Amino acid sequence: MNFIDFTVVAIYLMGLLIMGFVFRKQVSKKDYFLANRQLGWKPLSLSIMATQLSAVSFISAPAFVGLREDGGLIWLSYELALPLAMLALLYFILPTLYRSGVVSVYDFLEQRFGRSSRVLISVVFQISRSFATAIMIYAISIILQSTMGLAFWQSVLLIGVITLIYSLQGGMKAVVYGDAVQMVLIVAGALVCLGFGLYHIGGWTSFLEQVQPERLSTLNTSSYGFDGEGFGLLPMIFGGIVLYASYYGCDQSEAQRSLSAKSLGDLKKIIMAASFLRFPITLIYCFAGLIIGTLALTTPEFLAQIPEDQPDWLMPIFIVNYLPNGILGLLLVAILAAAMSSLSSAINSLAAVSVEDYCRVVGKTLSPESTLQVAKYTGMFWGLLTLSLSFVVDDIAPTIIEAINKIGSVCFGPILATFFLGVCTKHLLAKQVNTGLIAGVLVNIYLWLAQPDVFWFWWNVTGFLTALSVSLGVYWLSHKKFKQPFIRTRQDVLTKTNMAALITWCVVLIGICIALPVMLIQ
């Protein structure tokens, strides 16, 4: 990096700080955590995608596709279940959560089951989200080490201090508008890398001649995910439905955006936009990784710079060695932007949950001014804790993006089951759903520790089904006569056209995955 690159980075970071202070005036916790439900659906849509399609995706998805052993375009199968998950969310869960008027989605569980359910599930969220965010910060430190020559602790400090200041000052408005800018930057950065990768490899024809054919496979129909192999089609679809539904609907860091929508109509637009825009962006990431990975595998001096068994270094090494100054700085800004997007979202959502839990457990009703102060101090606590955890999360899975989803998959299923029962049943009590939640998490921990041949995507399904069946089983055992616990949910958000569009889009995605290897091989 030279003076131009450092100048670009400095200007961007100063802009973030200024934005935080511009949005620093809030009058209540609803204003701080939900922007008083005055944000439009377009920035909220970008914010939702930026939180997940972040720096981790930018670094680790290309590493999986281009360099990881047994990787390749099979990563695209990760996207197949998204439309079906969003359909389920809009039909069952999100409208009910939005109408309840809660700030924390776990507040809904207290209204439905009681304080114990709320505290139990929010603790599960706080632990899993803080560890997942720590992994993301670890990923960014790799880039800053290789591009700016910073030590790990210096990288963490740079990311953390700037993000803490602008997100704590600006609240949800700063987070969402920062995310919107960052989403645009990170996609542009991926396109830049794709273009320069093609240039250095000699063009599209040269790329097709040199790419490893096995990396063009997009669907694995031969494995069911119980033989030690990963990314079989069935676990990707069934596990993916649970994973996405839980993440977008029951994870405070994502659901908080939906709860910030002006209306149910805007909420539907947000979810529909995310459903249709995620795959094209993921496709850009994957092709960037495929092209740059092929360049690395055919260029010994490039490959020699990537540490053994650490494919996540693929993109950072490419950025340093193959991008011109100025563009290098812009791309580093894009990566920093995505990292700060994820961290700011985590800080805001963790603070929202903690403040709400504190007020419930202590039994105090704080003034608006006191609530804001507690919220900001709590956000600082979670920010510092997450930054600290980033020092100890470097050996969970072959790539960072797998590690994040592996941690989440322990909890996603049981959490979704708890919310599903809260929305779709009337008579279940806290002791029943709490028992199911704990059982679901314990079953998944057992699978992680004792059944390594079970692909971790299945954990989403096993956690959901265990939590659901145990909750209902305890409920029925406590009644001498059989009682039907389910109720008809109020559904007036999705139209038949919306449903048909989401189902059709799922079929189209499968068709693209089938056709893509054939088109590339020819």
Q: Which of 164-178, 228-242, 397-411 has the lowest mean pLDDT?
A: 164-178
**pLDDT confidence of residue 457:** 95
What pLDDT digit, counting tens, does each position of 136-151 carry? 777 777 667 766 677 7
**Tell me, what DSSP letter sits at residue 261?**
B
Confidence of residue 258 (pLDDT cuts 50, 70, 90): confident
Amino acid (1-letter code) at residue 157: L
304, exposed or middle or buried, with CB in 10 Å at 0-12, 13-18, 19+?
exposed
**pLDDT confidence of residue 256:** 76
- Say how far apart CA 461 and CA 235 lie, in whole Å: 8
Q: What is the arithmetic mean of pLDDT over 108-112?
A: 88
Higher pLDDT, 238 or 159: 238
391 phi and psi, to 5 degrees? Answer: -80, -10
**pLDDT confidence of residue 365:** 65
Answer yes or no: are the C-beta atoms of 141 and 157 closer than 8 Å. Answer: no
Q: Which of 54-58, 174-178, 265-269, 454-458 has the lowest mean pLDDT?
A: 174-178
419 phi and psi, to 5 degrees? Answer: -70, -40
Query: Of 218, 213, 210, 216, which is closest to residue 295 (Cα–Cα)?
Result: 210
36, exposed or middle or buried, with CB in 10 Å at 0-12, 13-18, 19+?
middle
Higher pLDDT, 98 or 38: 98
| Adjacent-strand bridge partners of 486 | 425
What's the mean per-residue pLDDT of the chain?
Answer: 83
- Say how far apart CA 501 and CA 83 lie, in whole Å: 9
- Say how far apart CA 289 and CA 282 lie, in whole Å: 11
Rg (CA), the chain: 22
SS3 sequence, 462-492?
HHHHHHHHHHHHHHHHCCCCCCCCECCCCCC
Amino acid (1-letter code) at residue 141: S
Answer yes or no: are the C-beta atoms of 312 and 57 closer than 8 Å. Answer: no
To which residue do tokens 């998959």 refer? Answer: 409
CA torsion through residues 153, 154, 156, 161, sign? positive
Max CA pair span of the chain: 76
Q: What is the arithmetic mean of pLDDT over 481-502?
A: 77
Confidence of residue 517 (pLDDT cuts 50, 70, 90): very high
**pLDDT confidence of residue 236:** 95
Q: In 3-state terms, what secondary structure has residue 39?
A: strand
- Say how far apart CA 160 and CA 157 lie, in whole Å: 5
393 phi and psi, to 5 degrees? Answer: -125, 35
Q: In 3-state terms, what secondary structure has residue 425?
A: strand
Q: Please name the residues in contact with 35: beta carbons below 8 A apart, sequence gap of 6 or more.
A: 171, 172, 173, 176, 260
158 phi and psi, to 5 degrees? Answer: -60, -50
What pLDDT digit, counting tens, does each position of 260-272 carry? 888 888 889 999 9
Q: In 3-state terms, what secondary structure has residue 419?
A: helix
Q: Which of 340-349, 457-466, 488-497, 511-520 has the lowest mean pLDDT?
A: 340-349
> Residue 12 has which token pair?
């961007």
pLDDT at 34 over 60: no
Residue 229's CB is within 10 A of a number of other CB atoms, namely 15
Confidence of residue 480 (pLDDT cuts 50, 70, 90): low
DSSP character string of 120-171: HHHHHHHHHHHHHHHHHHHHHHHHHHHHH---HHHHHHHHHHHHHHHHHHHH
- Say how far apart CA 259 and CA 269 lie, in whole Å: 13
> Residue 265 has which token pair?
């109509």
Query: Of 139, 116, 156, which is closest to residue 311 (Cα–Cα)?
Result: 139
pLDDT at 501 over 70: yes
Question: Angle formed by the axes of helices 368-389 and 327-362, to 10°?
Answer: 120
Q: Which of 112-116, 334-338, 449-453, 466-470 has the lowest mean pLDDT?
A: 334-338
Residue 522's CB is within 10 A of a number of other CB atoms, namely 6
What pLDDT digit, counting tens, does each position of 160-169 carry? 777 666 555 5
Answer yes or no: are the C-beta atoms of 517 and 76 closer than 8 Å. Answer: no
Confidence of residue 257 (pLDDT cuts 50, 70, 90): confident
> Residue 403 has which token pair?
């590690």
Confidence of residue 48 (pLDDT cuts 50, 70, 90): confident
| Domains of the chain: residue spans and CATH | 3-20+29-521 (1.20.1730.10)
Q: How far is CA 43 from the centre of its chain?
A: 17
Give exposure, 81-104, as e/b (b: 16+ Cβ within 10 Å).
bbbbbbbbbbebbbbbbbeeebbb
Q: What is the arithmetic mean of pLDDT over 359-364?
A: 59
What pLDDT digit, counting tens, does each position of 60-104 carry? 899 999 999 889 999 999 999 999 999 999 998 998 888 888 877
pLDDT at 197 over 90: yes
Higher pLDDT, 467 or 403: 467
> Residue 97 has which token pair?
């959560």
Q: What is the arithmetic mean of pLDDT over 317-330?
A: 85
